[in-house]
């Protein structure tokens, strides 16, 4: 019976293992993860957990008893150091573990502020793991001064938590505007206004040049030459897929571990899913950094290891919580040329609809769950209502589905 080994024990790994078992796989399943904690959900880390509104226990995807019942071996605190695809072994230092099929769900690692500019001073944090959040949590005390480097979703969520907890918050974003990489100017404008209304100082087009302090950070120097006194710093400047193991094993890498539409890599017995994997959508290759993608892709691989031969059709969606605003995103906005706005009937309720020509690509819905839901269904069905139909407040969105 086949032994299926999974490297990385996070969102994708957990989804994969339980799906494989549910599909009737009789052989051994082993998850190997280098973090000490059982697989957990990351989204609350920069939201409810950091705010203190969610207990640690609720972060875990499943308790140990679920793995025991499903006969899934979980080895936590164990880093895989190499893969030998010829002999089909993974190595944890000197210990070898044989596999028949290997699934790489190694996730991604945050880009760190370089040590040369003080990125290794105490009081400088990233936002990726439970340990990162537990380390920064004691700094979240009223009136402390935090500098957040990076105005993407992670940085803005951390800013929202800090502002809610009464800290003095400054966000610097090197690009012209916050969320520039991922959203239209209209969405940036919405979140800029939201953060301003909560007292956050947003500096766009401004970078970080240097962090100073003896052992602990005390001052930041900005690209404008200004200095800021700070108590701590959070970097939310992006992630890189964890591809080193796969690359060293000779597996093809292209913007992540390159897979085909079935989740298979260039090695016949190695598969990849989640943040670490890129896969084809039409003529392009994408890598998505989201929970729904990690789960869906992992479950497709489980089916394909069982011989189903199913193509992965991604249905991208994402969310972000900041203050009392829930942003929900459907679709991928890459290549958009027009954005139209539909104003909702509740305060702060609005949605931005991205088009390329007449084709609807994506929707950013802020406190507008209906717009999100219908936008998602339209995109998945390949339907593109005319943009003036969307902006017309008299349009009953649901009617567009029929
Ligand atoms: P992960 O869950 O990161 O798991 C990978 C695991 O592999 C890690 O534990 C890693 O340490 C381990 N690993 C790596 N190399 C090795 C090795 N050699 N040996 C052993 N183990 C190894 N997504 C959303 O959709 N919505 C959100 O609101 C959202 N918010 C987020 C907030 C935060 C703070 C963060 C960090 C992420 C957020 N995401 C969100 C993204 C989402 O959490 C990720 O896309 C998802 O966790 C990816 O799952 P994964 O299994 O690919 O990787």
- Each residue's pLDDT expressed in tens, for the chain with a length of 402 residues: 799 999 999 999 999 999 999 999 999 999 999 999 999 999 999 999 999 999 999 999 999 999 999 999 999 999 999 999 999 999 999 999 999 999 999 999 999 999 999 999 999 999 999 999 999 999 999 999 999 999 999 999 999 999 999 999 999 999 999 999 999 999 999 999 999 999 999 999 999 999 999 999 999 999 999 999 999 999 999 999 999 999 999 999 999 999 999 999 999 999 999 999 999 998 899 999 999 999 999 999 999 999 999 999 999 999 999 999 999 999 999 999 999 999 998 889 999 999 999 999 999 999 999 999 999 999 999 999 999 999 999 999 999 998
pTM of the model: 0.96
Q: Which residue minimizes the CA distance to atom 22 of ligand 1?
A: 8
Of 106, 111, 108, 112, residue with least CA distance to 251: 106
- Residue 311, ligand 1, Cβ within 6 A: no
Q: Which residue minimizes the CA distance to atom 12 of ligand 1?
A: 8
Residue of 107, 125, 158 to test ligand 1 pocket, by largest number of atoms within 8 Å of CB: 107
Q: Give residues with Cβ within 8 angstroms of 304, minimum separation 6.
A: 262, 263, 264, 271, 310
Q: Which atom of ligand 1 is nearest to the CA of 110?
A: 36
Using the structure block, give the residue that is written with the tokens 């697989």: 39
Q: Which residue minimizes the CA distance to atom 23 of ligand 1?
A: 290
Q: Which residue minimizes the CA distance to atom 45 of ligand 1?
A: 290
Would strands 82-84 and 89-92 be described as parallel, antiparallel, or unpaired?
antiparallel
3-state helix, strand, coil in the chain (%, to 5): 30, 30, 40
- Residue 45, ligand 1, Cβ within 6 A: yes
- For residue 60, the CA-to-ligand 1 centroid distance in Å is 13
Cα 136 from Cα 211, distance rounded (Å): 17
Degrees (nearest 5) of the Cα angle 178, 237, 44? 85
- Residue 128, ligand 1, Cβ within 6 A: yes
Strands (E), 93-175: 95-98, 101-104, 108-110, 124-126, 145-149, 168-173
- Residue 14, ligand 1, Cβ within 6 A: no
Provide the Cα torsion 390, 393, 399, 401; round to 10°: 30
Provide the Cα torsion 208, 210, 214, 219; round to 10°: -50
Q: What is the largest CA-CA distance in the chain?
A: 67
Burial 58-82 (b: 16+ CB within 10 A, else e): ebbbbeeeebeeeebebeeebebee
Q: Residue 112 carries which DSSP code?
A: P
């Amino acid at each position: 019976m086949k032994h299926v080994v999974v490297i990385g024990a996070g969102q994708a790994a957990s989804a994969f293992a339980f799906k494989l078992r549910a599909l009737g796989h009789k052989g051994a399943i082993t998850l190997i993860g280098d973090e000490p904690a059982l697989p957990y959900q990351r989204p609350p880390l920069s939201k409810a957990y950091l705010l203190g509104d969610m207990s640690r226990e609720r972060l875990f995807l499943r308790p140990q008893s679920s793995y025991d019942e499903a006969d899934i071996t979980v080895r936590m605190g164990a880093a895989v150091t190499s893969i030998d695809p010829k002999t089909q072994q993974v190595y944890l230092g000197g210990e070898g573990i044989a596999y028949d099929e290997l699934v790489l769900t190694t996730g991604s690692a945050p880009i760190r502020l370089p040590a040369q500019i003080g990125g290794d001073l105490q009081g400088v944090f990233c936002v990726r793991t439970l340990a990162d959040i537990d380390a920064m949590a004691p700094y979240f005390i009223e009136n402390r001064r935090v500098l957040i480097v990076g105005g993407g979703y992670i940085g803005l969520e951390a800013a929202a938590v800090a502002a809610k907890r009464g800290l003095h918050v400054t966000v610097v974003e090197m690009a012209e505007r916050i969320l520039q990489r991922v959203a239209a100017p209209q969405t940036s404008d919405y979140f800029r206004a939201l953060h301003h209304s909560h007292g956050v100082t947003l500096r766009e087009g401004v970078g970080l040049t240097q962090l100073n302090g003896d052992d602990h950070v005390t001052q930041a120097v900005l690209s404008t030459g200004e200095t800021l006194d700070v108590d701590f710093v959070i970097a939310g400047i992006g992630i890189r897929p964890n591809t080193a193991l796969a690359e060293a094993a000779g597996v093809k890498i292209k913007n992540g571990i390159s897979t085909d539409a079935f989740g298979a890599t260039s090695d016949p017995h190695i598969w990849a899913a989640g943040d670490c994997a890129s896969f084809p959508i039409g003529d392009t290759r994408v890598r998505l950094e989201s929970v729904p993608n990690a789960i869906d892709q992992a479950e497709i691989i489980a089916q394909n290891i069982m011989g189903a031969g199913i193509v992965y059709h991604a249905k991208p969606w994402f969310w972000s919580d900041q203050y009392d605003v829930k942003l929900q995103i459907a679709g991928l906005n890459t290549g958009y040329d027009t954005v139209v706005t539909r104003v909702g009937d509740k305060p702060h309720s609005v949605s931005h609809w991205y088009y390329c020509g007449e084709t609807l690509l994506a929707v950013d819905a802020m406190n507008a769950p209906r717009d999100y839901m219908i936008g998602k269904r339209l995109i998945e069905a390949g339907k593109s209502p005319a943009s003036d139909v969307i902006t017309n407040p008299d349009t009953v969105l649901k009617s567009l589905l029929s």
